[in-house]
Amino acid sequence: MAIRANPKLIDELEAYGAQDVSKCYHCGNCSATCPFSGGDTVFPRRAMRQLQMGLESKLDSSLDPWLCYYCGECSDDCPRDAEPGETMMSLRRWLTARYDWTGISRLFYRSWKWELAAIIVAALLTGAGFLLAGFYLGGGDIGVYNGENAFLPAGDSWYGLPTGSGVHLFDWILAAVLVFFLGSNCVRMWWKTMGKNPYTRWAVGAYLRRLWVLPAHFVTQMRYAKCDRKRPWAVHLVLMLSYLTMLVLIMFFLGYMASGPEIDWRVHIFGILATVGLLATTIWAMRGRMLKTETQYQHSHESDWMFLTLLVIVAGTGILQFGLHRAGADAAANVAYVVHLMGVVPMLALEVPFSKWSHLAYRPLAMYFADVRADVETAKAKQRAAEPIGAAQTA
């Protein structure tokens, strides 16, 4: 069957951060130096070639961009400065936009102004909503942080655990919205990469057999450790574990987190460590992008800065809120909490399903799907080998 080429694909990828892909003349240095390239997975060379040829449908169903961790060796060894590592990064942004049925990802990645405007609007609406709830709907006192007459109360119970009544309900609604959009986009990713192929679509055994790969890569990003440069993986691991820890604390232990002014070390120690981890790794990444200390930081897309800036705001206001409450400055702590939520909401509602944070879901899925594909191909090869020679030639 003929494959239609899109001659404007290279130009389209430039909006997603791709460099001058036409410089690549396929010497193969990038694939030779990449620690992940081998066997049927020859990248980034294959993706570079498909991009130059405008093979949009091939790239649309490809897992290759997600199997790249942007170690930087390929770009360092490129004799033409074609930046294959950055091209793979731009392809991940492009694929994120292809999976997203709402069109928001495409809008954000192609225009930082739209992304910034959406973040500001979401933040302002969040601030206004919580101020309205605190002053009028809840009838709370801005000078009371927790307990009776608290501005944003955290004393109701949820399955026996103290939680943050309206705030906690809002958290779960926000989580449901996030899961819906990101989950539906993940389903579209599965369809494009696996579902269209009848062999991988119905490979139930392979899906079950390889299911452990999904949480393993999601939590540890262990494949990243194969890069010659270990420090980025260690930083990424701390960032991921800090984010997951904070998410669990907020979703299930919000009441304990808001208790005080005494410190409940059973939960607060995890919150402190997670916050410090988030802030330290984010500042490290921002410093690297400003000073361009690593190859992967030589080119920064606007979406990278949005993601990092929101993390600094969320982590910084979280520390400020915690300190003010323990110091007895409840009014200031409530203000800091509202500002904190103004950062949390756009990060979870916009950045996670539609921008840089979504890669945390797509990459582990790609690892999982790649292993399922490998199992299916191995089974097919064994089946062909077991067939009589005449039957194989007929087939």
Domain at 9-99, CATH class = mainly alpha
> 208: Cβ–Cβ under 8 A, 6 or more apart, which residues?
none
- Evaluate if residue 162 carries a pLDDT over 60: no
How far apart are alpha carbons 38 and 50 in whole angstroms? 18
What confidence category does residue 205 fall into, taking pLDDT thresholds of 50, 70 and 90? very high
* pLDDT value at 258 more than 90: no
High-pLDDT (> 70) share of the chain, %: 92
Amino acid 121: pLDDT = 97
Which residue shows structure tokens 């055994």?
Answer: 205
Confidence of residue 7 (pLDDT cuts 50, 70, 90): confident
pLDDT at 328: 87
21 touches 48 (CB < 8 A): yes
Place of tokens 């819906």: 180
Whether the Cβ atoms of residue 260 and residue 146 lie closer than 8 Å to each other:
yes
Query: What's the mean pLDDT in 52-65?
Result: 92
Output the pLDDT for position 389. 65
Q: What is the mean pLDDT of the segment spanning 48-55? A: 90
What is the three-class DSSP state of 141? strand
Mean pLDDT within 312-330: 91
* Euclidean distance between CA atoms 244 and 340, whole angstroms: 18
pLDDT for position 365: 96
Per-residue burial over 200-209, b if 16 or more Cβ lie within 10 Å, else e, is beebeebbee
Tell me which residue has tokens 């199997």.
67
pLDDT of residue 292: 87
Is residue 333 scored above 80 in pLDDT? yes
| Per-residue pLDDT tens over the stretch 228-257 | 666 778 888 888 889 889 888 887 787 778
| 266 CB burial (10 A radius; 0-12, 13-18, 19+) | exposed
The answer to which of 156-170, 220-234, 243-257, 370-384 has the lowest mean pLDDT is 156-170
Mean pLDDT calculated for residue range 179-190: 96
Model confidence at 160: pLDDT above 50: no
Identify which has the larger pLDDT, 214 or 146: 214
Distance CA(126)–CA(338), nearest Å, equals: 8
Residue 140, pLDDT score: 73
Dihedral of CA atoms 238, 240, 244, 246 in degrees, nearest 10, equals 60
Query: Taking the alpha carbons of 116, 122, 125, 129 in that order, is the dihedral positive or negative?
Result: negative
Strand extents, DSSP E, 48-184: 156-158, 161-163
214-230 pLDDT tens trace: 999 988 888 887 776 66
- Residue 176 tokens read as 């449901």
Model confidence at 388: pLDDT above 70: yes
Beta bridge partner(s), residue 62: none
Q: Are 90 and 304 in contact (CB under 8 A)?
A: no
Q: What pLDDT does 247 receive?
A: 84
Domain parsing of the chain, residue ranges: 9-99, 104-374
Residue whose entry in the numeric block shows the structure tokens 């389209």? 12
What pLDDT does 118 receive? 96
CA dihedral 172, 178, 180, 183 (to 10 degrees): -130
Average pLDDT over residues 153-159: 48
pLDDT at 113: 95
Q: 326: part of which helix (H) or strand (E)?
A: helix 302-326
pLDDT one-digit tens code per residue, 72-130: 888 888 898 888 989 999 999 999 999 999 999 999 999 999 999 999 999 999 999 98
Cis link prior to 44 (omega < 30° from 0)? yes
Does the pLDDT at position 161 exceed 50?
Answer: no
pLDDT tier at 155, thresholds 50, 70, 90: very low
What span, in angstroms and rounded, lies between the C-alpha atoms of 74 and 58? 22
Of 36, 108, 127, 149, which is closest to residue 356 (Cα–Cα)? 108
367 alpha carbon, distance to own chain's centre: 14
Distance of CA 65 to the CA centre of its chain: 14
Among positive and negative, which fits the CA dihedral 15, 360, 368, 252? negative
Please name the residues in contact with 344: beta carbons below 8 A apart, sequence gap of 6 or more.
126, 314
pLDDT band at 151 (very low <50, low <70, confident <90, very high): confident
pLDDT at residue 313, rounded to an integer: 93
Q: What 3-state DSSP class applies to 12?
A: helix
* 11-29: average pLDDT: 87
Kindly write down the DSSP assignment for every residue of 159-215, as one continuous string.
TTEEE-HHHHHHHHHHHHHHHHHHHHHHHHHHIIIIITSHHHHT-HHHHHHTTTHHH
CA distance 51 to 71: 21
Quick one: pLDDT at residue 41?
Answer: 64
